[in-house]
Structure formats: C-alpha cells, structure tokens
C-alpha cells in the first residue's frame, strides 16, 4: 500500500512509502541472508536484560511492539552485527537498512538465532509458569525452562523436548509458544532511498519515533546517507561491534593492541608499522572482532567481570583476544584454567599493559590449546592464600583492588530490593553505562568508604530500603545479613557497616581463592580429552 504524505509536509516528496508486515520467521531469514543491515553510524545496542525479556513477553502475549522503519537500498558484502549476533553476509540489492527498530531486531537475533547471550543474561520460557524469565549465566536453568533460540523452529523445539523428557502438557505448551513467536507479525514502513531528499524520513521520525531508546532525526539522516557512503575505520567498527555486547566501550588503543596480538606482532611498536602491505586489513579486523566477542563472553560468563570499566588490569584483553582467535571454542578444562590465569594475574598485577610481560604471553599462545594454557600459567609469579586480601580497601575508581571487590560483590547476583522490580536481577552493566545514574549507590556515610558502604543497586535511600523490608534472600544477594539489616533499621549505621564489611571481606577472600584456583592442581599430564575421560 502507498502513502502520500505530500500534503502534510508541503510538497510531493514520495509516492513509494510502503507499509507491510513481516513474521518473526521472515525477519530472522532476512537477517540470516544479510538483507537486514545496521548502518555503522547507528548507536550501539542499549537495551538491558529486562527490556529484552519484555519484548519476548509482549510477543507471546500478542501485544504490539511498534513499527519498524526500514530504508531500502543496495548493500555490499559486510559483517552484520545485531546485539550479540554476528555474521559475514554477501552483497544484497534490496537490503533493509534499519532506521528505527534496531533494539527490537537485535533482541530477536540474539535470542532466536544464537544460543550465546554474550554479556547479557540468557532468556528462557518457563513452561510451568507460562512466562519468559531471565536466567543466571553461571547457574544451570530449571529443566522446564526452554532457551529462546530453541523456539526459532519446530525442529529445534522437538529435539529439545526429546532430550528434556518434558510432560505431554508442557510439550504442547512449548509447541504453542514456539508457533506464536515464529508467526508473530511485525509492521514496518519501507522507504526507498534513491532520492537524496530526507524530509520524508525526518517527518516520519518526528511522528512515530518517540520512545526512550529512539534515534534522533540527525542520526536517522546519518544512518541512511553518511554511513552508506563510507562507514568508519576498522578499529572504530570493532569498537562498535563489541559495544553491542553490553560490556562497555573499548577504546581504540585496546582494539589496536588486540589486533597486534591476533596478527602475531610484538607489543613494541605500532600496528601500522607491524603490518605488511599485503595484509588484508578487513579480514584481520573481522578476526579481531570475533576474537574480542569470544573474549568478552569469557570475561562475563567464566571470569565474572560484568563490564570493561571493572577490569582490574586491562592488559589481559589482548592476550585473551589471541587465545580466542586461535581457539574459538575452548575445551571446558582450558576455560577453567584460563580463569585461574586471569585472576592470578590480577592478584599479582601481572596483567597490567606492559610490553615486557605481554611479549612472552603473546609468544606462548599458539595452535596447541593445552600447551598454550599451561605456558600462560607458568609465566605467572606464584600466588598463595597470603597474597589474597582479607580486608576491604578504601574505594577508589582507578584501584585494581576496588575493581576486584566490586566483581566479588557482583558474584552474589544482586537483586532489586525495592519497587515493582523487586527480586529481579540488578542490570549492572546498564547502570554502569548510564552516566546519569549514581552507581554503585552510597548507602552509608561513616568512616572509611569501602564497598560495605555501597550497594550495587539503582539509587535508593536508607528510608526506602528500610520501609520496603526486603526478604532475607534479597538482602543476602548484597551481602547484608539479618543483624546488619536490623542495625540499619535501628539507625546504627556504624554497626551496619562493620557487620557488612566483615561478611564481604570473608566473601572476597573466598571468592578470589576459588577463582584463582589456589587449592586446585593446574598441570594436566594427559591430553585434555583423556583427562576428562578419567575424571568422569
């Protein structure tokens, strides 16, 4: 159907504005084939975990999720990044460039095309309660929770049901929700971009694009024109790719150093000087992007680091990029040992960015996965329990010790203590990225400022917290025991901080010993697969 908007904006601007609907299945197929494109000047993925869950919940409830605004134009072969979904795609004559709807399409791609949620919490459909729920990265889901990627096809659903051994009633519910998701219709405006006149797009934007995550009209113009004409350089594009994961924004120097490690250069010097004239820069940075995505997933899922700004020392990132470039799917035993390497290097400071220590690390990483991990471990100074902090330090934004303490606090899986979202996970990464948010929030001002005086929680007053009387499991997720909360209720702030500090210090010590594997053996005398066969 065509829409004539000439009367509303003062002249004949288009006769080809088309409206149509896409099923979710059709959108997924268009994404797979590279027809859906995100202009490189688009802002990064900004939705948090609850936004993503609510989209799936709205679809299964049959609620409208808004209209997409898509510009039709040719597109070259490229790397498509939608949230955590990444794919190399061929040239397309009638590509659909996303002007408005990036967050929704990225959420669908992340949830239905890939079973790796990246830094985001995985989403499941709870067959028992008939609702979408957020999982926890480091804990196994309930047996009746269906991963969203399974819902993308009836074949995947049937395979999952056979393996899960679900009752007939719940099996029928799984089939029903899968069909409902796949057949859900999403309306869209399709706008041709053959004309250089962008007034139609600005008018459409002004009328329909009003949500809190919306693009500005200037960004619409840039997405449709500037980005299609040129795009950004390879380092900036990798920064944007990784930023889609919700791990924060890497700076250009971090990406350049990762590229040097992936290219098997020495850390001294520059990337430009190290690369030869015949190097395919596009291919190299495609590898760097994929390696950094895997490295970020490892940091979040295995090492427990929720955001780049909380990395105690950033030097480990380039080494991890080289590891995951050569070994994209590490053996589970290797991942365990690499976590130990990560945390021991943080405790000793060996993961500072340093040419002297980075050179041997990069050189030790080769095509032999087992030997690579063993060599990395041997390069580190010996760490014992005496090297692990037993007390909380004074909070300092740049302190590696503070960052380790914040990660340890985040490992408690903090939950919302007040409001309508009470009990839901605190969106740590989103709050760190929100410059207007006070995060972590100060809950007590007395004596030395430590993490015992802070909450990993959106802004909340002591009065609100006391009045809401959170149940003990929610308080436990912030390292607050019953005695400490009672002290807070009674306005004994010093006692609250003292009691909480003791609990958090004990948790910090135990967390670091466990993550660094100080009580476990590292050296595997046998190949990895044999090791697991014998330990099974």
Same domain flag for 38 and 182: yes
DSSP 505: H
Helix (H, G, I), strand (E, B) or coil at 74: strand
| One domain for residues 305 and 175 | no
Residue 478 near residue 457 (C-beta atoms within 8 A): yes
Asked whether residue 56 falls in the same domain as residue 80, the answer is: yes
Distances (CA, A) of 34 to 82, 107, 264, 346, 444: 11, 16, 31, 41, 52
pLDDT of residue 190: 86
Same domain, 248 and 219: no
Q: For the purposes of burial, counting CB atoms within 10 Å of the CB of 242, is it exposed (0-12), middle (13-18) or buried (19 or more)?
A: buried
Residue 512 lies in a domain: yes
Kindly give the pairing relationship between strand 2-3 and strand 17-23. antiparallel
Residues 264 and 188 reside in one and the same domain: no
Find the domain containing 462 and state its range.
Answer: 400-516
- Residue 77 is encoded by which pair of tokens? 């072969």
- The reply to whether 328 falls in a domain is yes
The answer to whether residues 157 and 172 touch, using CB atoms and an 8 Å cutoff, is no
Q: Helix %, strand %, coil % for the chain, to 5?
A: 50, 10, 40
State yes or no: cis peptide before 298, omega within 30 of 0: no
Choose among 263, 253, 267: nearest CA to 284. Answer: 263
Task: Kindly state whether residue 529 falls inside one of the protein's structural domains.
Answer: no
Query: CA of 220: how far to CAs of 192, 217, 228, in Å?
Result: 14, 5, 12
Q: Nearest-CA neighbor of 203 among 329, 374, 2, 17?
A: 17
Q: How far apart are CA 439 and CA 434, in angstroms?
A: 9
The alpha helices in 165-232, defined as continuous H runs, are: 168-183, 199-208, 217-221, 227-229
SS (H, E, C) 209-255: CCCCCCCCHHHHHHHHHHHHHCCCCHHHHHHHHHHCCCCCCCCHHHH
Helix (H) or strand (E) holding 474, with range, is helix 472-476
Residue 432's CB: how many other CB atoms inside 10 A?
A: 21
Packing angle, helices 493-516 and 482-489, rounded to 10: 150
Residue 525 lies in a domain: no
- Rounded to whole angstroms, the Cα distance separating 412 from 476 reads 8
Asked if residue 390 is part of any domain, the answer here is no
pLDDT given for residue 82 in this prediction:
82
> What was the pLDDT predicted at 352?
92
Can you name the residues that pair with 211 across neighbouring β-strands? none
Asked, for residue 88, whether it belongs to a domain, the answer is yes
CA angle 330, 335, 341 (to 5 degrees): 130
9: tokens are 């904006």
Listed residues 339, 356, 383: the one ending a domain: 383
Is residue 23 domain-shared with residue 129, that is, in the same domain? yes
Quote the pLDDT of residue 313. Answer: 95
388, 512 Cβ separation under 8 angstroms: yes
Give the residue from 65, 64, 66, 70 showing the smallest Cα distance to 18.
70
Do 146 and 42 sit in the same domain of this protein? yes
pLDDT of residue 45: 74
> Among residues 321, 352, 383, which one ends one of the domains?
383
**Looking at the structure, do residues 139 and 114 belong to the same domain, yes or no?**
yes
Residue 288 sits in the same domain as residue 375: yes
Q: What is the CA radius of gyration of the chain?
A: 25
**How far is residue 353's CA from residue 46's CA, in Å, rounded to a whole number?**
29
Tally of domains within the chain:
3
Assess whether 84 and 114 both reside in one domain: yes
**Structure confidence at residue 221 (pLDDT):** 32
Judge if 340 and 224 occupy the same domain. Answer: no
The predicted pLDDT at position 505 comes to 97
219 plus 280 within the same structural domain: no
What is the reported pLDDT for 281?
Answer: 81
Single residue among 210, 229, 248 that ends a domain in this structure: 229
Q: Is residue 394 in some structural domain?
A: no
**Which of 92, 100, 87 has its CA nearest to residue 43?**
100
Q: Over its length of 536 residues, how does the chain's per-residue pLDDT go in tens digits?
A: 334 333 333 344 444 568 889 999 999 999 999 999 887 655 667 788 889 999 999 999 888 998 898 888 888 898 888 877 888 899 998 889 888 888 899 999 989 987 666 667 889 999 999 999 998 766 788 899 999 999 999 999 999 998 888 888 999 999 999 999 999 999 998 887 654 444 444 455 445 444 444 544 334 433 443 344 345 678 888 888 899 899 999 988 898 899 999 999 998 877 777 777 778 888 898 999 999 999 999 999 999 999 999 999 999 999 999 999 999 999 999 999 999 999 999 999 999 998 889 999 999 999 999 999 999 999 999 999 999 999 999 999 889 999 999 999 999 999 999 989 999 999 999 999 988 888 999 998 877 899 999 999 999 999 999 999 999 999 999 999 999 999 999 999 999 999 999 999 999 999 999 999 998 888 776 555 555 554 44
CB within 8 Å of 427: residues ≥ 6 apart: 48, 49, 50
**Residue 389, domain member (yes or no):** no
Q: Are 136 and 143 in contact (CB under 8 A)?
A: no
Cβ neighbours of residue 215 under 8 Å, at least 6 residues apart? 42, 43, 99, 100, 102, 205, 209, 223
Four-residue CA torsion sign, 395, 399, 401, 402: positive
Q: Tokens 């799936």 correspond to what residue? A: 56
Q: What does the block give as tokens for 356?
A: 């002297």
Ordered DSSP codes for 368-382:
-HHHHHHHHHHHSPP
User: Which pLDDT value is given to residue 219?
Assistant: 40
């Amino acid at each position: 159907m065509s829409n004539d908007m000439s009367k509303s904006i003062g002249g004949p601007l288009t006769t080809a504005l088309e409206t149509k609907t896409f099923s979710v299945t059709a959108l997924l197929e268009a994404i797979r084939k590279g027809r859906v494109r995100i202009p490189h000047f688009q802002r990064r993925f900004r939705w948090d975990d609850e936004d993503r869950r609510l989209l799936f919940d709205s679809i299964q409830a049959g609620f409208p999720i808004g209209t997409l605004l898509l510009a039709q134009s040719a597109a070259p072969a490229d790397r498509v990044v939608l949230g955590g979904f990444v794919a190399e795609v061929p040239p397309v004559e009638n590509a659909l460039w996303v002007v408005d709807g990036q967050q929704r399409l990225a959420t669908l791609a992340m949830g239905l095309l890939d079973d790796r949620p990246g830094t985001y919490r995985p989403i499941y459909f709870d067959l028992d309660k008939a609702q979408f729920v957020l999982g926890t990265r480091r804990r196994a889901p309930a047996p009746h929770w269906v991963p969203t990627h399974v819902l993308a096809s009836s074949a995947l659903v049937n395979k999952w049901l056979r393996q899960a051994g679900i009752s007939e009633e719940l099996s029928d519910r799984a089939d029903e929700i899968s069909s409902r998701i796949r057949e859900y219709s999403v309306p869209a405006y399709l706008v041709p971009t053959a004309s250089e006149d962008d007034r139609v797009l600005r008018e459409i934007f002004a009328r329909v694009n009003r949500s809190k995550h919306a693009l500005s009209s200037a960004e619409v113009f840039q997405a449709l024109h500037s980005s299609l004409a040129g795009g950004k350089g390879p380092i900036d594009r990798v920064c944007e790719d990784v930023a889609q994961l919700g791990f924060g924004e890497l700076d250009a120097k971090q990406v350049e150093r990762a590229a040097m490690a992936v290219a098997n250069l020495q850390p001294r010097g520059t990337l430009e000087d190290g690369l030869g004239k015949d190097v395919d820069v596009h291919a190299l940075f495609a590898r760097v992007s994929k390696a950094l995505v895997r490295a970020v997933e490892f940091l979040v899922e295995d090492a427990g680091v929720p955001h780049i700004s909380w990395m105690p020392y950033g030097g480990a990132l380039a080494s991890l990029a080289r590891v995951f470039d050569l070994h994209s799917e590490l053996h589970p035993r290797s991942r365990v040992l690499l976590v130990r390497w990560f945390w021991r290097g943080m405790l000793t400071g060996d993961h500072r960015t340093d040419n002297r220590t980075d050179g041997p690390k990069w050189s030790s990483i080769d095509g032999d996965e087992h030997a690579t991990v063993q060599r990395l471990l041997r390069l580190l100074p010996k760490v014992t329990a005496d090297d692990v902090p037993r007390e909380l330090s004074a909070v300092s934004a740049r302190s590696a010790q503070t960052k380790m303490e914040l990660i340890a606090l985040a490992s408690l899986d903090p939950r919302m203590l007040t409001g309508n979202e009470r009990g839901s996970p605190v969106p740590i990464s989103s709050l760190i990225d929100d410059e207007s948010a006070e995060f972590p929030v100060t809950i007590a001002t007395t004596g030395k400022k430590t993490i015992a005086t802070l909450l990993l929680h959106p802004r909340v007053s002591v009065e609100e917290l006391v009045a809401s009387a959170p149940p003990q499991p929610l308080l436990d997720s912030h390292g607050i025991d019953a005695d400490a909360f009672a002290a807070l209720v009674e306005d004994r702030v010093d006692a609250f901080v003292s009691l909480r500090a003791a609990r958090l210090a004990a948790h910090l010590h135990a967390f670091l010993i466990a993550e660094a594997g100080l009580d476990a053996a590292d050296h595997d005398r046998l190949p990895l697969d044999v090791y697991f066969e014998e330990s099974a």
